[in-house]
Amino acid sequence: MIGGGPAGLTAAYELTRQQENAIVLEKYDKVGGIARTENYRGYHFDMGGHRFYTKSAPVQQMWQEVLGDDFLRRPRLSRIFYQNKYFHYPLKPFNALLGLGPIEGVRIVASYLRWHLFPYKEEETFEQWVTNRFGKRLFETFFKSYTEKVWGIPCNELKAEWAAQRIKDLSLKTAITAMFLKPQETIKTLIEEFDYPRRGPGMLWTAVQDRIVEQGGQVQLNSNVVGIHREGQRITGVTVEQNGRTEFVPGRSFISSMPLAQLIQWLDPPPPSHVLEAANQLDYRDFLTVCLIIKKPNLFPDNWIYIHDPSVQVGRIQNFKNWSADMVPDLATTSLGLEYFCNEGDDIWNMPDADLIALGTREISKIGLAQSEDVVDGAVFRVEKSYPVYDSDYETSLDVLKAYVATLENLQTIGRNGLHRYNNQDHAMLTGMMAVRNLLYGETNDLWQVNAEQEYLEELVLDAPTESERLLDVLDGAVPKLDPLSLGMSLGVVIGLAFLATTLFVLLRGGDIGTTMTLLSQFYPGYTVTAVGSLVGLGYGFFTGFSLGWGYAFLRNATTAVYLVSLHRSAQQSVMRQFFEYI
């Protein structure tokens, strides 16, 4: 196993459980990769913040059998810092209303309605994907600034695949619905509770390391792979740099979670030139964490805060004491992790630690989280190649590398960097498990298909769509359905607020228009041109708009469904089921 992160350690754990000899080569002085936990003067710092939540039974089982009671059940609280205000995420209605104000709320709903009815015809970029689901106004308010901080490129250059993978099940409708109703199906982006090891994720991976060794495997730290040797289409061994000397380590099978581009570049003899060129095109985003120790017992209740303020460089702030009190040795203090997204070698990355600590101190003071004089100490930890970048060229290059890696008979790539895919920790673990099954049992699990929406590969095979269902999917894309609830709520809010504003305007102005408006009471009993009547009008307006929007969407979807049925008479029973689901 090249790499001792979640994917590589999981693969080694599964192999040693089957009495197979496994060697893990990890370049750093501790295991965990991006999910490692650093320690400074007894304070534990999580590199990035890792919520332990999964839909995968095998992953959940492994977590429990390794740590068991050392997992804590934690409530989730994350907020967005925007225009010197805090917004709860998931959205909470009164918090959002107070923060944005009714005028901005109307603009967001109107923008959502406009883009719902007239969306981008193609969704190639992150901006197009989010705008089609949330509207341009909400995209610019809560997505654009932070996303460009994270990736360092404009949202119109970031591929839509990243959004589709990370927030596929979340839309404005689901977010609004979740404010009032408990969803029947858990949306990953909206989970309210999660598990967390008492001393951070590194506690889990150190325990996995111990299990591997107990089961007869090896975990070699400070072992940087700097060469990968092959004969024809088989890997024969790797060159490892360890404590200033190099060593050749042979093997029968190889599982790699090192960055895919680096893997290709280390091959000896090198692959064809077009493969090397494709590897050189892959890009990565790095980050560093400025860890501050503050002499205050409590600062804010969040696990982390997303900083959407473009006037500061920090992107996200972790409060580790709120993850687990065991992360902090002195409960009279608080430890924060300020995350700065950057590129290896740029100004932020190369800034001296003392200057970074000073920068972080200034920025938390500017935001208002703590006073500069309360910061008593700090440290900096850099994390390279944390995020595989989904830029405009990555897909073409990745296809070339996939095809080439498939020709190497005894090599499998796993994990976030091994697959150049922005997977969560649990899905990185799944790739390790499936790679072992491919190796030991001759299975043909496609590791490239494991992403944030998959629970277990067999489910995809068992639930494979029929030919008629595939054709329906194509037609659905050509003639997309309208969401009755979304359209109804959008029209209801817009018409209701328009009714309210018009009534108040007429009330203040008076004259003949007020007399004319009073005639509406014939259709809306109880409505008057008064302050109380404006609220009655708000209710009537919402009901009218909702009825019109919901009714139009229902009839339009029903008409479309009937049309689809007429095209599929040979599969009538199946299509009728789709018809009722459609409307």
Residue bearing tokens 């972790």: 318
- Res. 391: pLDDT tops 60: yes
Stated as kind and residue range, the H or E segment containing 58 is: helix 57-66
Q: Which residues pair with 340 in a beta bridge?
A: 288
**Which of 426, 423, 201 is closest to 318 using CA atoms?**
201
pLDDT tens digits, 417-444: 999 988 889 999 999 999 999 999 999 9
Q: Which residues pair with 261 in a beta bridge?
A: none
pLDDT confidence tier of residue 62, bands split at 50, 70 and 90 = very high
The reply to whether 498 and 558 lie within a common domain is yes
% of the chain beyond a pLDDT of 70: 83
The token duo for 298 is: 């409590």
pLDDT tens digits, 80-112: 888 888 887 655 555 665 777 878 878 888 888
The reply to whether 199 and 234 lie within a common domain is yes
The token duo for 119 is: 């969306």
Q: Report the alpha-carbon distance of residue 420 to residue 315 in Å, rounded.
A: 22
Q: Report the alpha-carbon distance of residue 158 to residue 457 in Å, rounded.
A: 28
In a domain? residue 372:
no
- Res. 373: pLDDT tops 60: yes
Do 262 and 276 form a contact (C-beta atoms < 8 A)?
no
The reply to whether 59 and 111 lie within a common domain is no
The token duo for 502 is: 């018009």
pLDDT tens digits, 450-465: 874 443 333 333 344 4
The reply to whether 260 and 405 lie within a common domain is yes
pLDDT, mean of residues 364-385: 94
- Res. 520: pLDDT tops 60: yes
Instruction: Give the per-residue pLDDT at 266.
Output: 96
pLDDT tens digits, 108-124: 888 888 888 888 888 88
Residue bearing tokens 């109307």: 106
pLDDT confidence tier of residue 489, bands split at 50, 70 and 90 = confident
pLDDT, mean of residues 294-312: 91
Do 321 and 330 form a contact (C-beta atoms < 8 A)?
no
pLDDT, mean of residues 252-279: 96
| 6-10, 124-128, 142-146, 304-308 — most confident range | 6-10
40 SS3 class:
strand
The reply to whether 183 and 200 lie within a common domain is no
Please, what is the average pLDDT of the chain? 84
In a domain? residue 518:
yes
69 SS3 class:
helix
What is the full DSSP assignment across 363-428? HHHHHTSS-GGGEEEEEEEEEEEEEE---TTHHHHHHHHHHHHTT-TTEEE-HHHHTT----HHHH
CATH number where 430 lies: 3.50.50.60
25 SS3 class:
strand
Cis, peptide link before residue 269, omega less than 30° from 0:
yes
Q: How far is CA 411 from the centre of its chain?
A: 28
Domain of 572? 484-582
Q: Report the alpha-carbon distance of residue 160 to residue 129 in Å, rounded.
A: 6
pLDDT confidence tier of residue 216, bands split at 50, 70 and 90 = very high
In a domain? residue 211:
yes
pLDDT confidence tier of residue 582, bands split at 50, 70 and 90 = very low
The reply to whether 221 and 167 lie within a common domain is no
Q: Report the alpha-carbon distance of residue 84 to residue 576 in Å, rounded.
A: 52
Amino acid making up residue 165: Q
Domain boundary among 191, 208, 240: 191
In a domain? residue 171:
yes
pLDDT, mean of residues 322-351: 95
In a domain? residue 41:
no
In a domain? residue 479:
no
**Which of 144, 150, 196, 191 is closest to 319 using CA atoms?**
196
The reply to whether 110 and 258 lie within a common domain is no
37 SS3 class:
strand
The structural domain count of the chain equals 3
3-class SS string, 147-176: HHHHHCCCCCCCEHHHHHHHCCCCCHHHHH
Q: What is the DSSP letter of 371?
A: -
The reply to whether 261 and 396 lie within a common domain is yes
Domain boundary among 191, 207, 241: 191
**Which of 304, 300, 297 is closest to 323 using CA atoms?**
304
Choose between 517 and 378: higher pLDDT: 378
The reply to whether 154 and 181 lie within a common domain is yes
**Which of 33, 74, 541, 121 is closest to 319 using CA atoms?**
74
3-class SS string, 76-138: CCEEEEECCEEEEECCCHHHHHHHHHHHHHHHHHHHHHHHHHCCCCCCCEHHHHHHHHHCHHH
The reply to whether 61 and 102 lie within a common domain is no
- Res. 263: pLDDT tops 70: yes
| Segment among 48-57, 235-244, 424-433 with least mean pLDDT | 48-57
Cβ atoms < 10 Å from Cβ of 94: 9
The reply to whether 201 and 155 lie within a common domain is no
The token duo for 450 is: 């494991």
Choose between 461 and 66: higher pLDDT: 66
Amino acid making up residue 289: T
Q: Report the alpha-carbon distance of residue 189 to residue 181 in Å, rounded.
A: 16
Q: Would you put residue 108 in left (φ > 0), alpha (ψ -120 to 50) or beta? A: alpha
Alpha-carbon distance values, 338 to 133, 138, 175, 357, 372 (Å): 30, 25, 27, 10, 14
Q: Report the alpha-carbon distance of residue 262 to residue 225 in Å, rounded.
A: 10
In a domain? residue 570:
yes
Q: What is the DSSP letter of 573?
A: H
CA angle centred on 540, ends 493 and 179, rounded to 5°: 40
The reply to whether 240 and 203 lie within a common domain is yes
In a domain? residue 141:
yes
End-to-end Cα spacing for the chain: 50
Choose between 503 and 574: higher pLDDT: 503
Choose between 26 and 512: higher pLDDT: 26
Domain boundary among 191, 214, 240: 191
pLDDT, mean of residues 164-177: 51
Alpha-carbon distance values, 109 to 256, 379, 410, 539 (Å): 47, 44, 54, 17
**Which of 281, 418, 307 is closest to 368 using CA atoms?**
307
Q: Can you list the pairs that 240-243 forms with residues at least 24 positions away whose Cβ atoms lie under 8 Å?
A: 240/25
